[in-house]
Chain A
Amino acid sequence: MANPTNSAALRDKDPIPTAVVTGASRGLGAALGRALARRGTRVVLVARGAAELEAVAASIRAQGGVAHALVADVGDKRSVYPLAASAAELVGPIELLVNNASELGPTPLRLLFDTDCETLERVLEVNVVGPFRLAKALGGSMALRGHGTIVNVSSDAAVEPYAGWGAYAASKAALDQLGRVLAVELAEHGVRVLGIDPGEMDTAMHRAALPEADPATLLAPETVADRLVALLGGSDVPSGARLALSSWQGQGAP
């Protein structure tokens, strides 16, 4: 289970001031929003479902954090500029973007040749093009200021060919490589781009994909979120790196 965290002890002297986290209504995104806010980051939470998202934001505010809920579909082109600008207006210029929202496609998972082409298109739109659009809309002001971080949440499916995970796997491999190229191109502007593989977590998405998995063998999203926040606060991770959080034991690991 998650380490109980003492908010006063964990509040950083020099926190990341502002962050946008997508897919923040549940699972890793919600846990990450909470973990960042506990350390003093003003967070903008993004997801499609208004009620769940607002509940996460309200629970952060109840703990004394600063959180705003922006309802949007990151796979919708028209949502990106309103989202990026609104986020900056609500908490100030954005210094951390976490592209966490993901689309699995229909479950139970299907073999690739049983997957509709339209499913692949939608998965790529949400998992690759959406993060790219958002990175572009928020990364320009980071580049101008000479600092900022973009985190892309990936999966070991991006590396290992698991039957049934084709559309998701292809999208995450594309996202990984997009991030690596961005890391190279943005290095001179001081903007870090990281890929993270959170490992297998006890989340609604994991239950949808692998309903028979034993939750006792899965990581709590809160644990993974704490690791990611510790990793972002450290200085030992080079831009362009892709880190597996299930085994990460770097500087400041909880």
Chain B
Amino acid sequence: MSALPAAVRPRAFGSERLLAVDPLHGVISHHAFRELPALLAPGDLVVLNDAATLPSALRLTSHDAELRLATREPNGEFLAVALGPGTFRLPTEERGPVPRFAPGTRVTSGELAATVVGADADDARLVRLRFELEGAALLRALYRAGQPISYSYLERPAELWDVNHRFSSRPWSFESPSAALPLTFEVLGTLRRRGVELGWLTHAAGLSSTGSPALDRRLPFPERYELPDATVSRIDAARARGGRVLAVGTTVVRALESNALENGTPRAGLGEARLVLGPGFRPRVVDGVLTGMHEPQTSHFALLGAFAPRELLERALAAAEREGYLQHEFGDACLILPR
């Protein structure tokens, strides 16, 4: 199967398309993204990840290298992946040699400074950082020094306003939870007027690739999330009335299903999502997912196997290819939901 073309820039307002896959009937249909509300029913619940995206790519001034923040630990330290020199135009796997950051090394990116306090036993490119600042001062320095993670297929580097969707709040994500990017206020209003409920959680979407095949196989890393009371009661109410729960993005699936697996049923609070989804996994909470277009060899595609048989997903992808859908972060959308 040949590649779907990538969207090389954020899309013109409302131009995204929506490929709808109904695993119950094996039906594939084509829509404009703004028609999403018509594919849902009154009483359904749509859950978003409201995490804003940090400028997590730090070009170092102390070393000829880049550090990409990947997760924040409960003690305030960060795990980061070291990349060799090069701009966003150079795919991560083609970057130059990565310097070795021995524990105790001080790294700086402009006014942002940190100490490397540890390195992964299996791959020294994965390091643990302790920043010298905290609170408002750390955020200020991080936003000054960092850039949002960008992609080699883009025609210009991504800006914060490209990678943050319209409903973002706390900056927990290291890479954009991009499934919500096509969601406009117009669509949000249409959903409400149709009687579709809205829920939210905050999930620290991590890196999608590291440039190291060995590290990539360990993705996604455990990611922290917070599930609020308000969303838990909306989930309970939706299920009680026979409504479907639609996750906007795979991060929402991961948070909700990890939580339900641990607690038996969704329970509000902070947690760490460790679940790796794939074919054979039976979701307990989520009925369907709204996601980007992903190709068969990606881990995202494997995750979708929890929602539809591979044969149907491949048929959907072939239809997407025929119809000229665009893939990647700023591409078109795919709804997998039994109807």
Interface residues of A (CB under 8 A from B): 68-71, 81-82, 84-86, 88-90, 92-94, 136-137, 140-141, 143-146, 185, 188-189
Report B-chain residues with C-beta under 8 Å of the C-beta of A93.
50, 169-170
Interface residues of B (CB under 8 A from A): 48, 50, 52, 54, 135-136, 139-140, 143, 160-161, 164-171, 185, 188-189, 192-193, 198, 200, 230
Report A-chain residues with C-beta under 8 Å of the C-beta of B185.
140, 143, 185
Report, nearest first, the 8 A-B pairs whose CB atoms are least far apart. Answer: A82-B143, A85-B171, A141-B169, A81-B160, A86-B139, A140-B167, A85-B52, A140-B166
Q: Are B167 and A88 in contact (CB under 8 A)?
A: no
Kindly state the separation between the CA atoms of A93 and B169 in the bound complex, as whole angstroms: 6
Kindly state the separation between the CA atoms of A137 and B167 in the bound complex, as whole angstroms: 8
Report A-chain residues with C-beta under 8 Å of the C-beta of B48.
144
Across the interface, B140 reaches (CB within 8 A) one of A71, A92, A144, A185, namely: A71
Q: Are A143 and B139 in contact (CB under 8 A)?
A: no
Given A189-B188, A189-B189, A90-B167 contact (CB < 8 Å): no
> Would you give the shortest CB distance from B161 to chain A, in whole angstroms?
6
Q: Are B139 and A141 in contact (CB under 8 A)?
A: no
Report A-chain residues with C-beta under 8 Å of the C-beta of B50.
93, 141, 144
Chain A to chain B contacts (Cβ below 8 Å), 8 pairs: A85-B143, A86-B139, A93-B170, A94-B169, A141-B50, A144-B188, A144-B200, A185-B189
Report B-chain residues with C-beta under 8 Å of the C-beta of A71.
140
Across the interface, B230 reaches (CB within 8 A) one of A70, A145, A188, namely: A145
Q: Are B169 and A143 in contact (CB under 8 A)?
A: no
Q: List the count of A-B residue pairs having beta carbons below 8 Å apart.
A: 78
Kindly state the separation between the CA atoms of A90 and B167 in the bound complex, as whole angstroms: 18
Kindly state the separation between the CA atoms of A140 and B164 in the bound complex, as whole angstroms: 11
Given A141-B50, A145-B200, A189-B192, A81-B170 contact (CB < 8 Å): no
Kindly state the separation between the CA atoms of A158 and B161 in the bound complex, as whole angstroms: 31
Kindly state the separation between the CA atoms of A93 and B200 in the bound complex, as whole angstroms: 12
Q: Are A68 and B136 in contact (CB under 8 A)?
A: yes
Given A144-B198, A189-B188, A189-B192, A90-B135 contact (CB < 8 Å): yes
Kindly state the separation between the CA atoms of A92 and B202 in the bound complex, as whole angstroms: 11
Q: Are B161 and A88 in contact (CB under 8 A)?
A: no
Kindly state the separation between the CA atoms of A136 and B185 in the bound complex, as whole angstroms: 11
Q: Which of A70, A92, A140, A145 has the most CB of B within 10 A?
A: A140
Q: Are A144 and B167 in contact (CB under 8 A)?
A: yes
Report A-chain residues with C-beta under 8 Å of the C-beta of B193.
188
Query: In this complex, what residue of A is CB-closest to B55?
Result: A82
Query: In this complex, what residue of A is CB-closest to B200?
Result: A144
Q: Are B188 and A88 in contact (CB under 8 A)?
A: no
Kindly state the separation between the CA atoms of A203 and B143 in the bound complex, as whole angstroms: 32
Across the interface, A81 reaches (CB within 8 A) one of B140, B161, B189, B200, namely: B161
Report A-chain residues with C-beta under 8 Å of the C-beta of B230.
145
Across the interface, A82 reaches (CB within 8 A) one of B135, B160, B169, B189, namely: B160
Given A141-B50, A141-B167, A82-B139 contact (CB < 8 Å): yes
Kindly state the separation between the CA atoms of A82 and B169 in the bound complex, as whole angstroms: 11
Q: Are A88 and B171 in contact (CB under 8 A)?
A: yes
Can you add 5 more A-B contacts, CB < 8 Å, to A81-B161, A141-B168, A189-B189?
A: A81-B52, A81-B143, A85-B170, A94-B169, A140-B167
Query: In this complex, what residue of A is CB-closest to B144?
Result: A82
Kindly state the separation between the CA atoms of A219 and B171 in the bound complex, as whole angstroms: 39
Report A-chain residues with C-beta under 8 Å of the C-beta of B198.
144, 146
Query: In this complex, what residue of A is CB-closest to B50?
Result: A141
> Would you give the shortest CB distance from B185 to chain A, in whole angstroms?
7
Kindly state the separation between the CA atoms of A145 and B169 in the bound complex, as whole angstroms: 11
Report B-chain residues with C-beta under 8 Å of the C-beta of A141.
50, 167-169, 200
Report A-chain residues with C-beta under 8 Å of the C-beta of B52.
81, 84-85, 88
Q: Are B164 and A81 in contact (CB under 8 A)?
A: yes
